[in-house]
Amino acid sequence: MLKITLDIIDFAKEQLLNDIIELENTKESSNLNYDRFKFKLAGLLSKYEVKRESSELFESDIEEKISVYLSAKKIEGLSHLTLKDYKLELRLFNNAINKKIREINSNDIRLYLSRFDKLKMSTIGKKLYVLKSFFSWLHSEEIITRNPTSKIKQPKTENLMGKSLTIEEIEMLRESCETLRQRAFIEVLYSTGSRLSEIQQLDIDDIDFQNMSTKVIGKGSKEREVYLSYKAMYHLKKYLDSRNDECDALFVTTRRPFRRMSNRAIEREINIIGKNAKLTKRLYPHLLRHTFATLTLNNGADITAIQALLGHASPDVTLRYTRITEARKREQFQKHFVQ
Protein backbone atom coordinates (compact mmCIF):
# COMPACT_ATOMS: atom_id res chain seq x y z
CA MET A 1 0.00 0.00 0.00
CA LEU A 2 2.88 2.34 0.87
CA LYS A 3 4.57 1.60 -2.47
CA ILE A 4 1.39 2.48 -4.40
CA THR A 5 1.04 5.75 -2.46
CA LEU A 6 4.66 6.73 -3.13
CA ASP A 7 4.27 5.88 -6.83
CA ILE A 8 1.22 8.17 -7.03
CA ILE A 9 3.12 11.00 -5.31
CA ASP A 10 6.07 10.56 -7.68
CA PHE A 11 3.74 10.56 -10.69
CA ALA A 12 2.07 13.77 -9.49
CA LYS A 13 5.44 15.47 -9.00
CA GLU A 14 6.56 14.32 -12.44
CA GLN A 15 3.34 15.64 -13.99
CA LEU A 16 3.67 18.98 -12.19
CA LEU A 17 7.24 19.32 -13.41
CA ASN A 18 6.17 18.64 -17.01
CA ASP A 19 3.27 21.14 -16.73
CA ILE A 20 5.60 23.89 -15.48
CA ILE A 21 8.07 23.24 -18.31
CA GLU A 22 5.23 23.37 -20.85
CA LEU A 23 3.99 26.63 -19.34
CA GLU A 24 7.50 28.07 -19.51
CA ASN A 25 7.69 27.16 -23.22
CA THR A 26 4.30 28.81 -23.77
CA LYS A 27 5.58 31.96 -22.05
CA GLU A 28 8.51 32.22 -24.47
CA SER A 29 6.44 31.54 -27.61
CA SER A 30 3.51 33.81 -26.62
CA ASN A 31 5.59 36.60 -25.02
CA LEU A 32 3.59 36.49 -21.78
CA ASN A 33 4.48 39.28 -19.38
CA TYR A 34 5.31 38.63 -15.73
CA ASP A 35 1.80 39.20 -14.35
CA ARG A 36 0.06 37.02 -16.94
CA PHE A 37 2.61 34.23 -16.45
CA LYS A 38 2.17 34.41 -12.66
CA PHE A 39 -1.61 34.24 -13.10
CA LYS A 40 -1.39 31.15 -15.32
CA LEU A 41 1.10 29.49 -12.95
CA ALA A 42 -1.26 30.07 -10.01
CA GLY A 43 -4.04 28.40 -12.02
CA LEU A 44 -1.78 25.44 -12.73
CA LEU A 45 -0.77 25.01 -9.08
CA SER A 46 -4.42 25.13 -7.98
CA LYS A 47 -4.80 21.62 -9.43
CA TYR A 48 -2.25 20.30 -6.93
CA GLU A 49 -1.89 20.25 -3.17
CA VAL A 50 1.50 21.86 -2.69
CA LYS A 51 3.26 21.64 0.67
CA ARG A 52 6.72 22.85 1.67
CA GLU A 53 8.86 19.92 2.80
CA SER A 54 9.86 20.10 6.44
CA SER A 55 13.45 21.11 7.09
CA GLU A 56 13.49 19.01 10.25
CA LEU A 57 16.67 16.99 10.49
CA PHE A 58 16.50 13.27 9.81
CA GLU A 59 18.98 10.61 10.75
CA SER A 60 20.21 9.66 7.28
CA ASP A 61 21.09 6.04 6.61
CA ILE A 62 22.80 6.74 3.26
CA GLU A 63 26.35 6.56 4.64
CA GLU A 64 25.82 3.01 5.84
CA LYS A 65 24.45 1.96 2.42
CA ILE A 66 27.38 3.63 0.65
CA SER A 67 29.88 1.56 2.66
CA VAL A 68 28.12 -1.70 1.80
CA TYR A 69 27.83 -0.72 -1.87
CA LEU A 70 31.53 0.17 -2.18
CA SER A 71 32.50 -3.10 -0.49
CA ALA A 72 30.42 -5.02 -3.03
CA LYS A 73 31.97 -3.13 -5.93
CA LYS A 74 35.47 -3.76 -4.59
CA ILE A 75 34.76 -7.50 -4.64
CA GLU A 76 33.53 -7.13 -8.24
CA GLY A 77 36.98 -5.81 -9.19
CA LEU A 78 36.56 -2.04 -9.47
CA SER A 79 39.90 -0.25 -9.26
CA HIS A 80 41.03 1.72 -6.22
CA LEU A 81 40.79 5.01 -8.14
CA THR A 82 37.26 4.25 -9.37
CA LEU A 83 36.13 3.35 -5.86
CA LYS A 84 37.68 6.57 -4.57
CA ASP A 85 35.73 8.61 -7.16
CA TYR A 86 32.50 6.78 -6.37
CA LYS A 87 32.98 7.38 -2.65
CA LEU A 88 33.54 11.10 -3.17
CA GLU A 89 30.47 11.51 -5.42
CA LEU A 90 28.19 9.54 -3.10
CA ARG A 91 29.33 11.43 -0.02
CA LEU A 92 28.63 14.74 -1.77
CA PHE A 93 25.15 13.40 -2.48
CA ASN A 94 24.73 12.25 1.13
CA ASN A 95 25.71 15.68 2.47
CA ALA A 96 23.11 17.34 0.24
CA ILE A 97 20.16 14.98 0.82
CA ASN A 98 18.33 15.09 4.13
CA LYS A 99 16.24 11.94 3.77
CA LYS A 100 16.16 8.25 4.51
CA ILE A 101 17.32 6.14 1.57
CA ARG A 102 13.84 4.65 1.04
CA GLU A 103 12.24 8.11 0.84
CA ILE A 104 14.49 9.51 -1.92
CA ASN A 105 12.63 10.03 -5.21
CA SER A 106 13.51 11.07 -8.75
CA ASN A 107 12.83 14.74 -8.05
CA ASP A 108 15.36 14.70 -5.20
CA ILE A 109 17.94 13.41 -7.69
CA ARG A 110 17.05 16.08 -10.26
CA LEU A 111 17.15 18.83 -7.63
CA TYR A 112 20.56 17.66 -6.49
CA LEU A 113 22.00 17.58 -10.01
CA SER A 114 20.52 21.00 -10.82
CA ARG A 115 22.86 22.55 -8.24
CA PHE A 116 25.77 21.88 -10.59
CA ASP A 117 24.45 24.03 -13.44
CA LYS A 118 27.87 25.62 -13.96
CA LEU A 119 29.54 22.27 -14.62
CA LYS A 120 29.85 20.69 -18.06
CA MET A 121 27.05 18.30 -19.03
CA SER A 122 29.61 15.51 -19.29
CA THR A 123 30.57 16.06 -15.62
CA ILE A 124 26.92 16.09 -14.52
CA GLY A 125 26.46 12.92 -16.57
CA LYS A 126 29.25 11.23 -14.60
CA LYS A 127 27.59 12.21 -11.32
CA LEU A 128 24.30 10.74 -12.53
CA TYR A 129 26.08 7.58 -13.69
CA VAL A 130 27.41 6.98 -10.16
CA LEU A 131 23.97 7.60 -8.64
CA LYS A 132 22.35 5.23 -11.14
CA SER A 133 24.87 2.53 -10.29
CA PHE A 134 24.32 3.05 -6.56
CA PHE A 135 20.52 2.99 -6.62
CA SER A 136 20.37 0.17 -9.18
CA TRP A 137 22.49 -1.94 -6.84
CA LEU A 138 20.28 -1.06 -3.86
CA HIS A 139 17.22 -2.05 -5.87
CA SER A 140 18.74 -5.34 -7.09
CA GLU A 141 19.68 -6.19 -3.49
CA GLU A 142 16.06 -5.41 -2.47
CA ILE A 143 17.23 -2.76 0.00
CA ILE A 144 14.84 -0.31 -1.71
CA THR A 145 11.61 -1.16 -3.52
CA ARG A 146 11.90 1.60 -6.15
CA ASN A 147 14.88 2.89 -8.10
CA PRO A 148 14.56 6.72 -8.13
CA THR A 149 17.07 7.06 -10.99
CA SER A 150 15.33 4.68 -13.41
CA LYS A 151 13.27 7.45 -15.06
CA ILE A 152 16.15 9.91 -15.33
CA LYS A 153 17.97 9.85 -18.65
CA GLN A 154 21.65 10.58 -19.06
CA PRO A 155 22.13 14.16 -20.30
CA LYS A 156 23.14 14.65 -23.91
CA THR A 157 26.73 15.72 -24.23
CA GLU A 158 28.69 17.18 -27.10
CA ASN A 159 30.52 14.56 -29.13
CA LEU A 160 33.90 16.22 -28.88
CA MET A 161 36.92 14.68 -30.56
CA GLY A 162 39.73 13.68 -28.27
CA LYS A 163 42.64 16.11 -28.16
CA SER A 164 46.03 14.92 -29.29
CA LEU A 165 49.50 16.17 -30.19
CA THR A 166 50.96 16.33 -33.66
CA ILE A 167 54.21 14.60 -34.65
CA GLU A 168 55.87 18.02 -34.67
CA GLU A 169 54.70 18.71 -31.12
CA ILE A 170 56.03 15.33 -29.97
CA GLU A 171 59.45 16.36 -31.34
CA MET A 172 59.17 19.69 -29.52
CA LEU A 173 58.61 17.81 -26.27
CA ARG A 174 61.59 15.57 -26.88
CA GLU A 175 63.88 18.51 -27.50
CA SER A 176 62.65 20.39 -24.41
CA CYS A 177 63.46 17.58 -21.94
CA GLU A 178 66.18 18.71 -19.54
CA THR A 179 66.80 15.43 -17.68
CA LEU A 180 67.07 11.75 -18.53
CA ARG A 181 64.01 11.07 -16.41
CA GLN A 182 61.92 13.62 -18.30
CA ARG A 183 62.82 12.07 -21.67
CA ALA A 184 62.04 8.59 -20.32
CA PHE A 185 58.64 9.84 -19.12
CA ILE A 186 57.70 11.17 -22.56
CA GLU A 187 58.87 8.11 -24.47
CA VAL A 188 57.30 5.51 -22.15
CA LEU A 189 53.93 7.27 -21.84
CA TYR A 190 53.72 7.90 -25.59
CA SER A 191 54.97 4.46 -26.67
CA THR A 192 52.74 2.39 -24.37
CA GLY A 193 49.61 4.58 -24.44
CA SER A 194 49.19 3.70 -20.79
CA ARG A 195 47.35 5.56 -18.07
CA LEU A 196 49.40 7.55 -15.58
CA SER A 197 48.43 5.24 -12.70
CA GLU A 198 49.51 2.18 -14.71
CA ILE A 199 53.00 3.57 -15.32
CA GLN A 200 53.32 4.90 -11.77
CA GLN A 201 52.83 1.37 -10.36
CA LEU A 202 55.53 -0.25 -12.50
CA ASP A 203 58.73 -1.68 -11.05
CA ILE A 204 62.01 -2.10 -12.93
CA ASP A 205 61.55 -5.90 -12.87
CA ASP A 206 58.24 -5.50 -14.71
CA ILE A 207 60.06 -4.43 -17.88
CA ASP A 208 60.77 -7.22 -20.36
CA PHE A 209 63.87 -5.72 -21.97
CA GLN A 210 64.29 -8.59 -24.43
CA ASN A 211 60.76 -8.38 -25.84
CA MET A 212 60.52 -4.60 -25.33
CA SER A 213 57.24 -4.84 -23.44
CA THR A 214 55.67 -4.73 -20.00
CA LYS A 215 52.40 -5.72 -18.36
CA VAL A 216 50.26 -3.10 -16.66
CA ILE A 217 47.23 -3.39 -14.39
CA GLY A 218 44.35 -1.31 -15.74
CA LYS A 219 40.79 -0.59 -14.65
CA GLY A 220 38.97 -3.47 -13.04
CA SER A 221 42.38 -4.98 -12.12
CA LYS A 222 42.69 -6.24 -15.71
CA GLU A 223 46.21 -7.01 -16.87
CA ARG A 224 47.36 -6.29 -20.43
CA GLU A 225 50.63 -6.20 -22.31
CA VAL A 226 51.91 -2.93 -23.78
CA TYR A 227 54.98 -2.28 -25.89
CA LEU A 228 58.02 -0.02 -25.81
CA SER A 229 59.50 1.53 -28.93
CA TYR A 230 63.22 1.55 -29.66
CA LYS A 231 63.36 5.19 -28.56
CA ALA A 232 61.50 4.37 -25.36
CA MET A 233 63.85 1.47 -24.56
CA TYR A 234 66.94 3.53 -25.31
CA HIS A 235 65.99 6.49 -23.11
CA LEU A 236 64.56 4.31 -20.33
CA LYS A 237 67.85 2.37 -20.13
CA LYS A 238 69.84 5.62 -20.05
CA TYR A 239 67.69 6.85 -17.17
CA LEU A 240 67.95 3.58 -15.22
CA ASP A 241 71.74 3.38 -15.76
CA SER A 242 72.08 6.90 -14.32
CA ARG A 243 70.43 5.92 -11.03
CA ASN A 244 72.41 4.82 -7.97
CA ASP A 245 69.50 3.99 -5.66
CA GLU A 246 68.12 0.63 -4.59
CA CYS A 247 64.44 1.46 -5.08
CA ASP A 248 62.44 -1.08 -7.11
CA ALA A 249 60.12 1.50 -8.68
CA LEU A 250 60.56 2.33 -12.35
CA PHE A 251 60.39 6.09 -11.73
CA VAL A 252 61.72 7.50 -8.45
CA THR A 253 62.22 10.86 -6.76
CA THR A 254 65.52 12.70 -7.18
CA ARG A 255 65.94 13.43 -3.47
CA ARG A 256 66.68 11.06 -0.62
CA PRO A 257 65.12 8.95 0.61
CA PHE A 258 64.54 7.68 -2.92
CA ARG A 259 61.01 6.42 -3.34
CA ARG A 260 58.36 5.78 -5.97
CA MET A 261 57.05 8.98 -7.54
CA SER A 262 53.41 9.81 -6.86
CA ASN A 263 50.87 10.44 -9.62
CA ARG A 264 50.88 14.13 -8.73
CA ALA A 265 54.66 14.38 -8.93
CA ILE A 266 54.68 12.82 -12.41
CA GLU A 267 51.91 15.19 -13.53
CA ARG A 268 53.98 18.17 -12.36
CA GLU A 269 57.04 16.91 -14.22
CA ILE A 270 55.07 16.41 -17.44
CA ASN A 271 53.56 19.88 -17.08
CA ILE A 272 57.07 21.37 -16.77
CA ILE A 273 58.12 19.63 -20.00
CA GLY A 274 55.09 21.11 -21.78
CA LYS A 275 55.91 24.61 -20.55
CA ASN A 276 59.55 24.25 -21.64
CA ALA A 277 58.34 23.19 -25.10
CA LYS A 278 56.10 26.28 -25.24
CA LEU A 279 53.13 24.27 -26.48
CA THR A 280 49.90 26.14 -27.19
CA LYS A 281 47.99 23.49 -25.19
CA ARG A 282 48.47 22.24 -21.63
CA LEU A 283 50.44 19.01 -21.44
CA TYR A 284 49.24 16.25 -19.12
CA PRO A 285 49.90 12.46 -19.11
CA HIS A 286 46.50 11.48 -20.56
CA LEU A 287 47.14 13.70 -23.59
CA LEU A 288 50.00 11.39 -24.55
CA ARG A 289 47.58 8.45 -24.33
CA HIS A 290 45.19 10.25 -26.71
CA THR A 291 48.13 11.02 -28.99
CA PHE A 292 49.23 7.36 -29.06
CA ALA A 293 45.71 6.32 -30.10
CA THR A 294 45.26 9.02 -32.73
CA LEU A 295 48.65 8.76 -34.44
CA THR A 296 48.56 4.95 -34.41
CA LEU A 297 45.08 4.93 -35.98
CA ASN A 298 46.06 7.47 -38.63
CA ASN A 299 49.10 5.35 -39.45
CA GLY A 300 46.82 2.46 -40.43
CA ALA A 301 46.34 0.45 -37.22
CA ASP A 302 43.09 -1.47 -36.77
CA ILE A 303 40.69 0.06 -34.23
CA THR A 304 40.32 -3.28 -32.40
CA ALA A 305 44.10 -3.49 -31.96
CA ILE A 306 44.19 0.01 -30.49
CA GLN A 307 41.27 -0.93 -28.23
CA ALA A 308 43.27 -3.88 -26.87
CA LEU A 309 46.43 -1.80 -26.40
CA LEU A 310 44.51 0.89 -24.48
CA GLY A 311 42.61 -1.67 -22.41
CA HIS A 312 39.15 -0.44 -23.38
CA ALA A 313 36.13 -2.69 -22.95
CA SER A 314 34.35 -1.14 -25.93
CA PRO A 315 35.55 0.24 -29.30
CA ASP A 316 33.14 3.16 -28.77
CA VAL A 317 35.38 4.39 -25.95
CA THR A 318 38.45 4.01 -28.16
CA LEU A 319 36.85 6.12 -30.90
CA ARG A 320 36.40 8.98 -28.42
CA TYR A 321 40.18 8.92 -27.89
CA THR A 322 41.03 9.35 -31.55
CA ARG A 323 40.98 12.11 -34.13
CA ILE A 324 41.06 10.92 -37.74
CA THR A 325 42.86 13.45 -39.95
CA GLU A 326 41.40 14.75 -43.20
CA ALA A 327 44.28 13.17 -45.10
CA ARG A 328 43.54 9.79 -43.55
CA LYS A 329 39.81 10.06 -44.35
CA ARG A 330 40.59 10.97 -47.96
CA GLU A 331 43.06 8.10 -48.26
CA GLN A 332 40.52 5.59 -46.92
CA PHE A 333 37.81 6.90 -49.25
CA GLN A 334 40.03 6.60 -52.33
CA LYS A 335 41.21 3.13 -51.27
CA HIS A 336 37.87 1.54 -50.39
CA PHE A 337 35.13 3.38 -52.33
CA VAL A 338 33.63 1.27 -55.13
CA GLN A 339 33.22 3.33 -58.31
Q: pLDDT tens digits for the chain (339 residues)?
A: 444 444 555 566 666 667 677 766 665 656 666 666 666 666 666 676 656 554 444 566 888 899 999 999 888 877 777 888 899 999 999 988 888 888 899 999 999 998 888 888 878 888 999 999 999 999 999 999 999 999 888 887 554 445 789 899 999 999 999 999 999 999 999 999 999 999 999 999 999 999 999 999 988 778 999 999 999 999 999 999 999 999 999 999 998 899 999 999 999 999 999 999 998 888 999 999 989 988 888 888 888 888 888 888 777 777 776 666 666 666 665 665 565
What pLDDT, on a 0 to 100 scale, did the predictor assign at position 5? 47
What pLDDT, on a 0 to 100 scale, did the predictor assign at position 304? 86
What pLDDT, on a 0 to 100 scale, did the predictor assign at position 33? 66
Record the pTM: 0.60
Decide: 282 and 175 in contact? Cβ < 8 Å: no
What pLDDT, on a 0 to 100 scale, did the predictor assign at position 313? 79
What pLDDT, on a 0 to 100 scale, did the predictor assign at position 215? 95
CA distance 107 to 53: 13
What pLDDT, on a 0 to 100 scale, did the predictor assign at position 130? 92
